[in-house]
Amino acid sequence: MRQSLLVDGSNEELLKAAAAGDQGAWDALVQRHTSLLWSIARSYRLGNADAADVVQTTWLRLVEHLDKIADPERVAGWLATTARRECIHLMRRTDRRGEATAEFDDLPDEGPELDAALLRDERDAELWRALARLDELCQRLLRVLTSDPPPAYADVAAALGMKVGSIGPTRGRCLDKLRALM
Amino acid sequence: MTDHQPTDGRPPDRADDELVARLRRVAARADPVPEALLAAASAAFGLRELDVRVAELVRDSAVGASATAVRGLGARMLSFEAADAVIECEVTTRGPRRDVIGQLVGAVATAVQVQVAGVPAVDVRVDSRGGFSIAGLPAGPFRLRCALADGSTLMTSWTAV
C-alpha cells in the first residue's frame, strides 16, 4: 500500500486520481471502503472465502469501471450496490450447489458465535452474541452500520436495498431489540 | 460520515449512537477485514486495462432460471455481450475448481487468455470456430481476455465462479 497525498481527499478526488493511474489514491479508496464491503458480505452470513470473493470481485469491477462511474462522490453507494448484488448471486448459486457446498470449510453461520471467543471483555462478547440472536433484518442493518468508518445512511440503504428514510427508524427499533436481549 | 443523521420522525438518540459506536469497536475486533483482502484489493488496481472493450455479463443461469430448472443440471451458463460479440461459457463445479467450456461468437480471436487475480494469466487454445475450454480454474473471480483479429481487445467483466 502506498500513501497518497490525497488520503483525506473526497471520493471524487480519489476516483479521479485513481482513473489517472494513482495507485496511492486507489489504496485510499480501498482503506476507506473495504470495511463497508466486508460488513455487507458478513451481513449475508457468508463465510471467509465467499465474503472475500464478493469484496474482491467488487473492487475488480470498480477497476473495470473507473472511467464510467456516473456520480464519483457516491462511489461508496456504487460499491455497496455491487457487493449486495454479488452476495445475492452467490447465495443463489450456493443454494443450488446443494451437497457440493459440504466440502468447503467456510460454510456460513461460523461467524458470530465462534468469533465471540476473540473478545476478551465478557460484556463485549455478550453484546456480539446478542447481535447474532436478532432477526435477519436487524442483524444485517447493524452489521453494516457498524463498519468503519461509519457509513453514510445513503450507502447503508444501497447495501441493504432499503429506502434511505427507513434506515434511522429501523436502526432505533433494532437497537431496542438488542437491548432487550441483554 | 457520522451516525448523527436526520431520520424521519424519531430523532437520533445519544444512547443509540453510543451503542452503535460500541458495536463498531466490537465488530472491528471480532470480525476484522482480513489483511490479505486489503492487499488483494490494492493489487486489483494493477489489473486495470486501458483501451479494451468489456463484454458485460448479461445472463447467468444461476440467477435467472427457476431453482428447479437449474438444480441437478450441474452446469452454470454465463453470457457476456459486447456490441459486436458474444462469449458463452458453461461452468461446472469440481470441488474448489471450475471447468469452463466456452465459445466466442461474432468475432475472431487470435489469442485468448484466462485471468484470475493474483496469478499470471494463462493462455487458452481456441479452435477455428471460437470454441475453447479451461480446466481447473480456481473458485473466485475470473475474466477472459480475447485478442481479436481486427487488433482490438475484448475482455469479459470480472465474474466470481
Question: What percent of chain B lies above the pLDDT cut of 70?
Answer: 86
Average pLDDT over every residue of A24-31: 97
B90 touches chain A (CB under 8 A): no
Cα A43 from Cα A57, distance rounded (Å): 17
What does the pLDDT read at residue A154? 96
User: What pLDDT is recorded for position A115?
Assistant: 62
Residue A3 lies in a domain: no
Task: Tell me whether residues A18 and B45 touch, CB distance under 8 A.
Answer: yes
The H or E element spanning position A112 is: helix A111-115
CB of B149 closer than 8 Å to CB of B109:
yes
List of chain A residues whose C-beta atoms are within 8 Å of the C-beta of residue B22: 124, 127
Tens digit of each residue's pLDDT (9 = 90 or more) over B84-116 = 899 999 999 888 899 999 999 999 999 999 999
In a domain, A71, yes or no: yes
Is A36 part of any domain?
yes
pLDDT of residue B11: 56
Give the Cα separation of A19 and A22 in Å (integer).
7
Q: Calculate the alpha carbon distances from B125 to A103, B68, B75, B87, B137 in Å.
A: 31, 34, 21, 15, 15
User: A66 and B39 in contact by Cβ < 8 A?
Assistant: no
Contact indicator for A80, A167 with CB cutoff of 8 Å = no
Domain membership flag for residue A130: yes
Whether the predicted pLDDT of B2 surpasses 70: no
Query: All domains of chain B, ordered by start, with CATH?
Result: 50-160 (2.60.40.10)
Average pLDDT, stretch A71-95? 88
Q: Which residues neighbour B14 within 8 Å (Cβ) at sequence distance 6 or greater?
A: none
Reported as a pLDDT band with limits 50, 70 and 90, residue B138 is very high
Determine, yes or no, domain membership for A80: yes
Residue B73's pLDDT is what?
56
Encode pLDDT of B111-136 as tens digits: 999 999 888 899 999 999 999 999 99
Q: Which residues of B touch A49 (CB under 8 A)?
A: 139
ipTM of the complex: 0.86
Give residue A50's domain range: 11-180
Residue A4 lies in a domain: no
Residue A119: which pLDDT band, with cuts at 50, 70 and 90? confident
Q: Check residue A163 and give left, alpha or beta (phi > 0: left; psi -120 to 50: alpha).
A: beta
Domain count, chain A: 1
Report the sign of the C-alpha dihedral through residues B160, A74, A84, A138, in that order.
positive
A22 CB within 8 Å of a chain B CB? no
pLDDT tens profile A126-165: 999 999 999 999 999 999 999 999 999 999 999 999 999 9
Show the CA angle centred on residue B136, arms to residues B131 and B137, nearest 5°: 80
Residue A101 counted as domain residue: yes
**DSSP run (H or E) holding B78:** strand B75-81
CB distance B33–A38 less than 8 Å?
yes
